[in-house]
Amino acid sequence: MAREAIQSLENGFRLFDWYHISWLLLTALGIFLMFRLYRKANQLQRKKIRIYWAFTILILEVIKNIVMVMDNTFWNGSWPLHLCGLGIFIVLGHALFKGHYVDMLLYCLTMPGALMALLTPDWTNVSAFSYLHVHSFLFHLLLFSYPMTMLIAQELQLSIRKIWQPIVFLCITVPLIYVLNIVWGTNFMFLNQAPAGTPLIVLEQFVGEKHYIIGLIGLVILFWLILLGPIILWKKRPY
């Protein structure tokens, strides 16, 4: 049974099967271990950890693209223009620069984006024994663990007043990427159509193909309400 289960991974996996859940448990373990390491570090060590973490994520993406170029599988859709791809640069900005200029971007964009990628991956049909498969899980694991660790360590300065930051970020990037999707025939950020095998298919069927982008905006707003709720409650807590 075990041998057959492993051999079946050559054809990919199904959402929330034993293999998928194993990766999710590994993600939880990674967050736990990184938080313990981060919590025990002093300020200088924490700075180094953030930088190493950010550049590890960047290097993973570079290696992935090199592998794809060598395999002649690199195409326009391989550029890091998905929300998680843009998260690479948000994490780098947080790790390299002083201040808290991208905290809300980490919390409202990178963290939920990476979480949804882990919960509803669009690489289920890719062989589990391929580099791209392992990269997809490992990349998103590290990308999600970074803002989660910063959040648990209370190093993110979050405020409802800063919600304009992710709004402006999306107002700038979404129109540009939407046009690129049309020109290149890509589907960055899943703006132009719902990817097969993900819950976004249900959204597209519910609102209709013509109104998919509107439904996607509504889904983002719903996610933000869920994320911002704890901030509001935390600010109103009695001292």
Model confidence over 53-76: pLDDT tens digits?
Answer: 999 999 999 999 999 999 999 999
Q: What is the pLDDT of residue 63?
A: 96
Q: What pLDDT, in 10s, does the model give residues 216-231?
A: 999 998 889 888 887 7
What would the mean pLDDT of 114-143 be, rounded to a whole number?
93
Q: pTM for the full model?
A: 0.92
Mean pLDDT of the chain: 91
Higher pLDDT, 92 or 203: 92
**What is the number of H-type helices and E-type strands within the chain?**
10, 0
Rounded Cα distance between 54 and 48, Å, is 10
pLDDT above 70 (res 20): yes
Q: Is the dihedral of CA 213, 220, 162, 149 positive or negative?
A: negative
- Domain coordinates of the chain in residue numbers? 2-235
Q: Which amino acid is at 223?
A: F
Q: What is the 3-state secondary structure (H, E, C) of 73-127?
A: CCCHHHCCCCHHHHHHHHHHHHHHCCCCCCHHHHHHHHHHHHHHHHHCCCCCCCC
What's the distance, Cα to Cα, between the start and end of the chain in Å? 57
